[in-house]
Structure 1
Amino acid sequence: MSVADQPLAAYSASMPFAEAPEVTFSLVEVTLTLQGTQLLLEVSDPDKEKTPAPRTAGQHDEDGRGLAVIAALTNQWGYDLRRYTKCAWATFPLPAVTPACSA
Structure 2
Amino acid sequence: MNGARCAQRKPWRLPFRAEPEEVASLRRLLRAHLTLWGLHESIEVAQLCVSELVANVINHVGPGTPTTLVVCMNRTYLRIEVHDPDTRALPFLKEGGADSETGRGMGLVDAVTDRWGVDLHADRKVIWCELATPLSSPNGHACGPGFSRAEALLGGCAAVRDRREPGPSRLTMRMTEEAAIDVITDLLHWFRAHGCDADELLDRAQTHFEAKTAAFEGQDRHAV
TM-score relative to the length of structure 1: 0.72
Q: CA deviation at 1:99?
A: 3.1
Stretches (4+) displaced over 6 A:
none
The answer to whether residue 117 in structure 2 is matched with residue 72 in structure 1 is: no
Corresponding position: 1:56 with 2:95: yes
Partner SS state of residue 69, structure 1: helix
The structure where strand makes up a greater share of residues is 1
- Picking from 92, 99, 103, the partner of 2:144 is 99
The one-letter code sitting in structure 2 at the alignment partner of 1:95 is P
Q: 1:24 to 1:100 in 2, by over 3 A?
A: closer
Closer/same/farther in 2, CA of residues 26 and 69 from structure 1, 3 Å limit: same
Q: Work out which of the residue numbers 10, 13, 18 in structure 1 matches 2:13.
A: 10
Task: List runs of 5+ in structure 1 lacking aligned partners.
Answer: none
Residue matched to 2:81: 42
Deviations 1:38-71 (A, max 9, x none): 100111111111111111366262x311111111
**Contact 1:57/1:64 (CA < 8 Å) preserved in 2?**
no
In the TM superposition, residue 98 of structure 1 has moved relative to its aligned partner by 2.5
Deviates more, 1:33-42 or 1:80-89: 33-42
Cα deviation 1:70-103 (Å, max 9, x = unaligned):
11121211101112111011111113532348xx
Q: Take 1:19 and 1:29, find their aligned partners in 2: how far apart are those partners?
A: 13
Contact 1:30 1:43 in 2 (8 A): yes
Aligned residues: 94
* Contact 1:43–1:89 (8 Å) recurs in 2: yes
- Deviation at 1:24? 5.7
- Identity across the alignment (%): 24
Q: Distance in 2 between matches of 1:95 and 1:44?
A: 27
Q: Is the 8 A contact 1:57 1:65 kept in 2?
A: no
Compare CA radii of gyration and give the structure with the larger one. 2
